[in-house]
Chain A
């Protein structure tokens, strides 16, 4: 069983070329952009009135794309090679765990090394620094890394890694489950359901509180243990739901 699961992981990793390429291209583009900004700022002696998203955040893109490609593209091909649904189910989960870990490490490393270096140049500032001193916007380029925006950096490196990891795992599991059911009527029903919730809960203040409460639990809550537990529990529940979906998925 474990050998089969590991075989699925290997096959998944070998066949995510488009997600690797798109993620790499976007991250590289933003990385180059930050270098160009640094050079311009150094030459002109002026930086400011700009805000950019950290290139490291775009490693998360790999999670979303992988969770789309694995059930849509890899599932049928794995079956054609003799893979069983149960092995695909566990193998895909193992793939997401490893990919979430990789994306987390990449972004965390990016945040604690390259971005700290950018801040040290004096032309850039992080989101936390900007919140404490909004005037920095006039003289620095504000780099927004979601680690800071979501408040995870306040809890130390270990929690940055764990909170980010569980959030990415949840993200992958949600995308995987929704993508898996798109060839069935209930997939479209779920899409409609989500769209309805978002379009009615956002404009109505009393309902918006509930929506914000949900996002608070999976992202913003100050207590990292609650966020970690809730994300893991929700990921588990949603992935369990994906099993009957995988069972019914036509090959």
Chain B
């Protein structure tokens, strides 16, 4: 269980996380979405106790997180993270010795599944395989919270699919809180249960995929017809061209008149609208 209460993190004059509050109480695969510099990595590092918050409190499983008390129950890994230039087998063994309750069988099974050469040194692996190995090591941890920062960055479509399989298998074997930050929303949607969208250091939305699917839609038609319908609705973005308007809504579905069309909105478009469209509202 993760509880983030009014946490702020400043780097000099830059505020990376701004009085952010978040509660994750249930096990599941969560996607943390946000633009570059939105604060995803900082939030993950704060939860993992890798960096200290400027203010606010973070607890994991009821224990306050700080850099001196990195929670044993949290494992965090970021994309392109550096490792010792040891062989794959040596790295897995080292991780098994360093971590409590490391699932060596799972790690070895996944290494075989993804054709990782146990004798190859880390630097000899391709970028994708390096990330895959690092992810396997992290997932083999018995931690109750796993944080993966941009794990599929630089992956081709096949590797991304393999990664999703890895994530699901790990979750089914050991259900816990898995938070994955990514830009590839539609792909992660295949495995994720909830979305957390962050922008400028603040949570914009924390909702289930199904919830978003049901409540996110676009109303389009002539401005004079669309505009009155928006009263009382949570409009996250509007675009106008001539006398036409399209409004992106995240709210209860309405039944519009025939001269206004209603369409489902894809996750990618929903994300773009909610993050990039606020200024249009």
Contacts and interface: CB of A to CB of B under 8 A. Distances in A.
Given A85-B67, A85-B68, A250-B51, A80 B141 contact: no
B270 interface: no
Chain A to chain B: the 9 pairs with minimum beta-carbon distance, closest first: A7-B97, A82-B99, A247-B68, A251-B50, A83-B98, A81-B95, A247-B67, A82-B98, A80-B81
Chain B contact residues, majority secondary structure = loop
Contacts, number: 63
Contacts of B141: 82
B70 A82 contact: no
A3 B102 CA distance: 14
Interface in A69-103: 74, 76-85, 87
A154 interface: no
A219 interface: no
Interface residues of B, number: 28
B168 interface: no
Nearest to B81: A80
Contact of B94 (A7, A79, A85, A251): A7
A84 B72 contact: yes
Contact of A14 (B68, B86, B134): B86
A85 B72 CA distance: 11
A82 B95 contact: yes
B70 A84 contact: yes
Nearest to B140: A82
A81 B86 CA distance: 12
**Residue among A11, A76, A82, A87 facing the most chain B CB atoms (10 A cut-off):** A82
29 contacts: A3-B97, A4-B97, A7-B97, A8-B98, A10-B94, A14-B84, A14-B86, A74-B84, A80-B82, A80-B134, A81-B83, A81-B84, A81-B91, A81-B94, A81-B98, A81-B137, A82-B75, A82-B98, A82-B138, A83-B98, A84-B70, A84-B72, A85-B67, A85-B70, A87-B98, A244-B68, A247-B67, A251-B50, A251-B51
A46 interface: no
A77 B83 contact: yes
Contacts of B102: 82
B259 to A, nearest CB: 57
Interface of A: 3-4, 7-8, 10-11, 14-15, 74, 76-85, 87, 244, 247-248, 250-251
A250 B50 CA distance: 6
Contacts of B50: 79, 250-251
B7 interface: no
Nearest to A250: B51
Contacts of B82: 76-77, 80
B127 to A, nearest CB: 16
Given A11-B98, A84-B72, 11 more contacts: A3-B97, A10-B97, A14-B86, A15-B84, A76-B82, A80-B77, A82-B99, A87-B98, A244-B68, A247-B68, A251-B45
Contact of A82 (B66, B67, B90, B137): B137
Contacts of B209: none
Contacts of B83: 77, 80-81
Contacts of B138: 82
Contacts of B75: 82
Contacts of B52: 248
Contacts of B81: 80
Contacts of A251: 45, 50-51
Nearest to A78: B98
Contacts of B98: 4, 7-8, 11, 78, 81-83, 87
A69 to B, nearest CB: 12
Contacts of B99: 81-82
